């Protein structure tokens, strides 16, 4: 789905078109639910987060700005934030922890339940990019992004100085940026 299609969907949501909301859920539901589950590590809580994310879009379609990225990225960002809020609220960080680190190394499997904007091949490349950064960098990045830890908590949890945690996060992102840039050049 390209940006013009995203904008068309948002225009329909602004007109309170319920079919547009169904379309958004059909297209992105699998990804949004997976992101929520990745963070909260509990299917029931993940469903709650997924519902909240779509309801938030329905209540404020104008919060999405197509100049800033795809609707898919926007929804995943909203979902990630809501999931982390819930995890913090529920104080179930420990429960979610085990699912975090190893997940970054797992390869995707199974069939896609929906027709998605990011195909399997591209997703595998993104996951390969994540695996390509050093283990200590990946550990820090995954804890921060999917685990909702602050850089201070990352340092505390990994038993490293805060400066080292900040460096690992920066170097991890910089490496990811480089891998993605190389991929774009090859394409």
Partner 1 sequence: MNKTHDELKSLIAPYVLGAIPPEEMEEVRSHIISCEECMAEADSYSGAVSSLALSVPPEAVPDTLVENVMRQVRDEKGEQQASVTQLRGPRPVYNIVAAAAALVIVAVLAVALITTTNELDDTQAELAIERQRVEQLAQTQGAMRLGGPSGDVVGAMLPTDDGGVFVVHGLDDAPSDHTYQVWLIDDGQPTSAGTFDPASGLGGLQTDHSLDGVDEVAVTVEPEGGSRAPTGAPVLRT
**CB closer to partner 1, 92 vs 167:** 167
User: Measured from the CB atom, is 93 or 118 closer to partner 1?
Assistant: 118
Question: Contact residues for partner 1 (CB under 8 A)?
Answer: 18, 21-22, 25-26, 29-31, 33-35, 37-38, 43, 47, 50-51, 54-55, 58-60, 62-63, 65, 67-69, 72-73, 76-77, 80-81, 84, 108-110, 112-114, 116, 118, 122-123, 126-127, 129-130, 141, 144-146, 148-152, 154, 163, 166-167, 169-170, 172-174, 176-177, 180
Distant-in-sequence, close-in-space partners of 22: CB < 8 Å, separation ≥ 6:
none
Cα separations (Å) of 39 from 72, 93, 116, 164? 17, 9, 21, 24
Residue 147 CB, shortest distance to partner 1, in Å, is: 9
CB of 95 to partner 1, least distance (A): 18
DSSP string, 113-176: SS--SS-HHHHHHHHHHHHHS-HHHHHHHHHHHTT---HHHHHHHHT--HHHHHHHHHHHHHHH
């Amino acid at each position: 789905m390209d940006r013009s299609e995203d904008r068309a969907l948002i225009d329909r949501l602004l007109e309170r078109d319920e079919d547009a909301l169904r379309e958004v859920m059909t297209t992105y539901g699998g990804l949004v639910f997976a992101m929520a589950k990745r963070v909260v590590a509990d299917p029931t809580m993940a469903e709650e987060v997924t519902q909240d994310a779509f309801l938030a879009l329905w209540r404020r379609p104008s919060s999405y700005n197509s100049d800033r990225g795809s609707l898919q990225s926007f929804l995943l960002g909203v979902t990630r934030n809501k999931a982390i809020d819930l995890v913090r609220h529920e104080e179930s960080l420990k429960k979610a922890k085990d699912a975090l680190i190893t997940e970054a190394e797992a390869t995707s499997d199974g069939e896609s339940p929906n027709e998605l904007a990011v195909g399997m091949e591209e997703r595998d490349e993104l996951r390969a990019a994540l695996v390509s950064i050093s283990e200590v960098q990946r550990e820090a990045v995954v804890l921060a992004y999917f685990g909702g830890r602050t850089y201070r908590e990352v340092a505390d949890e990994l038993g490293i100085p805060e400066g080292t945690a900040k460096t690992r996060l920066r170097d991890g992102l910089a490496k990811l940026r480089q891998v993605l840039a190389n991929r774009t050049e090859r394409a």
